[in-house]
Chain A
Amino acid sequence: MSSHRQIKEGSFHILGGDFANAGEASTSIKRELLEMGVEEDTIRRVSIATFEAEMNIIIYATAGIIRYTITPEEVIIIAEDMGPGIEDIELAMQEGYSTAPDWVREMGWGAGMGLPNMKKNSDVFKIDSVVGEGTRVDMIIKRRRNETEADQ
Chain B
Amino acid sequence: MSSRSDILARLRGTAVPAVSLPAYPTIPELTQEALVERFRANASAAGSTVISGNLNWSEIISSASPSAHKIYSDGNIDTDKSVMRSFSLPETLSKSHTAELSRTRTSTDNINQPHSVLLDVAVLTSHLAVAENGSIWLTDSVEHRVIPFITEHLIIRLIDYDLVATMADAYDRLDSSLAFCICIAGPSKTADIEQSLVIGAQAARSLTIVLE
A and B pair up: no
